[in-house]
Each structure stands twice: as C-alpha cells, then as structure tokens.
A and B are shown apart, each in its own frame.
Chain A
C-alpha cells in the first residue's frame, strides 16, 4: 500500500508541480501570485475539449490549439488589464488576477457549466503497468514524462536563451533591466503567455482523471500555491519538487490518517512553511532592508 500511495502521490504531484511552475514563472518576474492561474488553465482545457468534441479535430491539433489559445489568453490579460493598473502595488495586482478569475469562471460556466464532461484523452488511465506491488497507469507515466520534459525545456530556456535571461534580469531589477534596453512590459507579456501555456498543460493532464467542469482547477490552484510555497516561490526547480512532495504527503495522509481531512493538508503545509521557513525549502532567504 505504501508504494502504491507513493506512486499516486507522484502522479498527482506532477499536476501540482506544473501548476506551481506556472505560478512561479509569473511570481518571479512580477512578485504577483496569479490567482487566475487555475481558471486560465481550465478555460484552455475546455478549448481543447471543444475542438475535440464539437469540431471533431484530432487530438494533436486540439492540444496544440488549446496551447495557442492559452498563450493568447495570457498575453491578452497582461496587455489589456494588468499593464494599465494606475497604482500597481501588490494588493491591486492580486485583485486584478482575482477579477480575471471570476471573469473566466463566469465565461466557462456560462458555456459549459450545465453538465460535467469527460475529457477524451488518447492515453488511458485504465491501462496499467505493474511496478512491484504497485500499479501505474499509462496516463500517470505520460503525465510524469510531460512534466519532466517541460521542466527540462524551461531550464534550458532560462539558462540559454536571450529572452530567458532577460526575464531573469527583469525579475531581479526591473529598472536596471529597462535601462539596459530590455522591454520589461514585453517580457511580462511573454511571461504571462508562458505561464498560461504551462497551466494549460496541467489542466489537460488533469482533465482525464477528474471530471471536466468549471471547478476543475479550483482545488489544484490551492495545491499549486502550496507546492510553490513549500518549494520556494522564487525557484522553478524547488517549486516543482514542492509539487511532488505535496502530492506524496497528501496521498499518504489520505491513506493512513484521514481521507476526510486530506484537503486541509495543503493549508497546513502553507501555514507551517510560512511560519518556520517563509522562503520555502529550496530558496535562499531574503531579508527586507529598512
């Protein structure tokens, strides 16, 4: 049972890791936690669903279409609203993302809210491989591989591409980056696009094991935050690891202690980490100067 719980923990952890990555990308550049992250992913997943079910497109095209949609959505929100904020302090920016959250939730519920859909995915959750005493589904494996692949790509991106380095620069000192010819605004737009894309992947990996409805990402949103906080809001690798750790802890808690109160694990982790190691497990501590 223990091994089986670990396996399930890792597979759900992959989703959390993806959501956490998506958040951290935005948080790193603008210090704003994006509360619309989950809904953006949910809407993109619905777009994929629409392409699949209503327009009868093959899976690859639907998937790609949803990713393109996700990028456009992210860039659009940043460009049309966030950038125009009169008084861009953290509280206002958080509120703006909350506004997005509600708008997107409303749109999705308006169109698809009535019934719960099941998301057709080419890889099944029911084809399984035996791994010692535990079973792993193909879907779990694909999810894990996709997550690792994305993390690897992100790592290369931030390390070796010009845009990636510019993003890092913007995050560390926006003014200095501007002076050095980096268009900080444009960088922010790209950030939002990228983040939205990663979120969309998370949504589409989650949809086959959950039911597809507008509440799809409400819970993973919190879990994503918990993972990011656990690993450290400023480190990509750390937050992804945080996702896996959270996934494992949560399933173990559900298996051994109480399935009923499984959902408070994320909250407890957030509170404990923030109380005892506010910068997260894998990030350097940062002191505010007076």
Chain B
C-alpha cells in the first residue's frame, strides 16, 4: 500500500514561450487516489498528455513502477498498464457501447489478420476470443449500469452516459494506473454520487491507482488521498485534503474562501 507506483520528476513543457507545465513533481503511491486541482488552463490536462505520450516533455521524467516511460509512444504507455479518460469526450462515436468497450480489450486480444478474416464457426479461434472478451466487457456494462446503451451508437447518448462509457473503456484495459480527466464534468448530482462510489470501488476492490483531475471540490476532498494544486503550470501546494484546504496559497489562487468552507462542510 505504501509502495510508490508512479512518479513525475521535474516536468517541463512549453508551447511557443508559454510555460504550460513548469517544474512539476509528484509521487503517487500504489492503490491511492491522487488528485490534481487548479484553475482552468493551469496545465493539468497537459500533465496527463505528457504522461500518456501525446506530448513529449521538454525535460523531466515520468516513472511508472520505477521504469522511465518519458516520451514513449501512447500505445506503449497503454501497454504498461496506464489508461485514461478525456476531458472532452473522445469516444468512438460511430461504434456501439459494446464495441467501444471491446476496443478497450484491444491489448488483451490476439486475433490476427488471417484468423480474424476467416473465422466461420463458433469454435474458430477468433470467434472464441471474441466471445470470451465480450463476456468480460459485459461485466463492465453491468457494473456501470450501461445495459440500456449496450447496442446503441455512443454518439447519440447523453453526456453523462458517454463519460461513463469512457470510464468503462479505460477499465476494460485492466489498468494499474487510471488517469481520469474531469470525470464528473456535465453530470448531475445523482450521477456524481454514483461516480464517487464507483471510483472508490475501483480503487478498493480492483486495486487500481487513480490520478484524478477534477473541478468538483466536494468530490476531490471526499475521495482523494493526496492532492496537488497547480497554477500557471507551477505547483503551489501538495498534501492531504485537509492540508490543501488550509494552504493559504491554494486558497488565494484557486478556491476562494467561501467556496472552501462550503466544500469542507
């Protein structure tokens, strides 16, 4: 439980002179929930993109289980066991929910061109594999209560549902580290409650470590083990939820005192 799983060291990246991420350091312990908070444009998503390999940081290192994964390609990052969701939904809009989740199983499937192209009966290799993985995906569908959307094209589903499907797709990868980029954005209170419950369960039951970007302070304070606050790409405070709530710099930069007392109560 106290083992370090993931670590970011001296991360820098700038876009045309703008320092989007400026010397960010943090360590995430195994099976904990670590949140990154900060105002819009503070560079939170950019950190995720660096971890994912979508951006190549100017300097600094990203370590996962002690291994340097800085600058490797996104699909290799996924192979290490890191999955993510996106702030602006990036689902495969012309696939059904089931197929979206099945894509999450991509790395666990072995069907090649020939076996994939030529299956003709239930016992064919590709068909067997397909059936097996569809069964597993069904569990995620059950878990996230997505049965009704199972065979619908995701492009036409409500926003909250799409967010959940993204979460499900990331889970289908069976990640060790899950990056959630504002998972509750656009959800109503009830959906948020469910989400908090699921995130806790993913952490507790499945032993997945979670790195979370979130604007909903109630949720962040409720579920996080540790929190990092950043502003203009710079870290301005790190600690347990209580520490962050009382950190004057964070209060000034981000929360505003009223909001904080609301959130804390």
Contact = CB atoms under 8 A, between A and B. Distances in A.
A33 B94 CA distance: 26
B156 to A, nearest CB: 16
A287 B49 CA distance: 14
A129 B54 CA distance: 58
A287 B54 CA distance: 12
A290 interface: yes
A90 to B, nearest CB: 17
A290 B55 CA distance: 9
Nearest to A289: B15
Contacts of B15: 287
Contacts of B45: 290
A287 B55 CA distance: 11
Interface string A231-264: 0000000000000000000000000000000000
A89 B55 CA distance: 26
Contacts of A290: 45, 49, 54-55
Contacts of B55: 290
Contacts of A287: 15
A3 B54 CA distance: 49
Interface in A256-290: 287, 290
A290 B54 CA distance: 8
Interface in A193-211: none
Contacts of B54: 290
A290 B74 CA distance: 13
B151 to A, nearest CB: 24
Interface in B8-55: 15, 45, 49, 54-55
A287 B15 CA distance: 10
A223 B45 CA distance: 42
5 contacts: A287-B15, A290-B45, A290-B49, A290-B54, A290-B55
5 closest residue pairs by CB, A with B: A290-B54, A290-B49, A290-B55, A287-B15, A290-B45
